[in-house]
Every structure is written in C-alpha cells, then in structure tokens.
Structure 1
Amino acid sequence: MNVAHEIDLLVEEIQRLGSKNAEGQITVKFGVLFSDDRCANIFEALVGTLRAAKRKKVVDFQGELLLQGVHDNVDVVLLKE
C-alpha cells in the first residue's frame, strides 16, 4: 500500500472511532486506535502511518512517537478530513 492511501484509511478510522473536541476537531485516544480490531487488520504499522500523517499535517499528537501502553491516553487530533 502507498502512504497516501494508508493516511486516507487512517482518517476514516479516526472519524469512526473519534469524537469532536471543544474546537470541533475529531480526536481519538491512541490506545483506542491501537486496540481496535479493525485498525489492527488494516495497518501493519499504525505508528508509522501516524508519523507520516503528522508530517503531512493531517493529524497532530504530542511527541514524535507513540508507544502502546505508555501513550494510550494521548489524543490524536484530525486536522484535515
């Protein structure tokens, strides 16, 4: 799969699992994304897809790298739909 396609799939999954914050942006906790069965089947490397999406300013989150367990409560914010 190419990166652009994976980012499009990521946007769909964030929209499916997330909810709107006070600013009207869709957010989802990293732990929710990581533990979702559908996401696990779609993404071989969820963390890599998230990093690529952050570089393209499609999503934003605290830090450079998200790790399961340690960063489960970090919000992933969708910047572009």
Structure 2
Amino acid sequence: MNVEHEVNLLVEEINRLGKPGPEGKMQVTFGELFNDDRCANIFEALVGTLRAAKRKKIISYDGELLLQGVHDNVVIYLL
C-alpha cells in the first residue's frame, strides 16, 4: 500500500465531500467520510489513512483514534 497515494486520494475526497469552514479550510465529518460509498470502495483502512495524513500535518481533528458511530460528528479539517 502506497501511503502517499492514499493520502492524496483522501485529500481529493475531503475536497469532494467537504464544505469550507469558518476559516476557509475545507472540513468534513468522520461520519460523512466513513459512510460515503465511494470512500468505502477507495480506502481499505480509512482510519489508518486519516492517522497517516494527520501525522503529515495534512489534516487535523480532535482525538487520536476515530471509531464509527462514536466519532461520526468529529470534524476533519484539511490544512
């Protein structure tokens, strides 16, 4: 698995699904990403891709590990 490629795909999907936030940064909730059919087909491990992108400071969100259901309303910001 090419992490760089997965992160680039994640950026594309956040731009597709997201909306500009108050600071002009694109934002999307974890639930929107997780429940999107296209994302489900692209990402085998969405949470792992999110963590890799966060480590590279490409996105930001509160917390460390996002779990479906519990963290559906957590906002992910594209930096």
What is the CA distance between 1:27 and its match in structure 2?
Answer: 0.2
Q: What does 1:19-58 align with in structure 2 at a 5 Å threshold?
A: 19-58=19-58
The yes-or-no answer on 1:63 pairing with 2:55 is no
Please tell me the residue identity of whatever aligns with 1:55: R
Q: What residue number does 2:4 align with?
A: 4
Q: Residue by residue, what CA displacement relative to the aligned partner does 1:12-31 show, whole Å, maximum 9, x if unpaired?
A: 00000000011000000000
Aligned partners of 2:22, 2:75: CA distance in 1, in Å?
Answer: 13
Structure 2, unaligned stretches of length 5 or more? none
Structure 1, unaligned stretches of length 5 or more? none
Q: Percent identity?
A: 72
Runs of 4+ with >3 A deviation: none
RMSD: 0.4
What is the CA distance between 1:41 and its match in structure 2?
Answer: 0.1
Count of residues paired in the alignment:
79
TM-score scaled to structure 1, two decimals? 0.96
Aligned partners of 2:62, 2:47: CA distance in 1, in Å?
Answer: 13
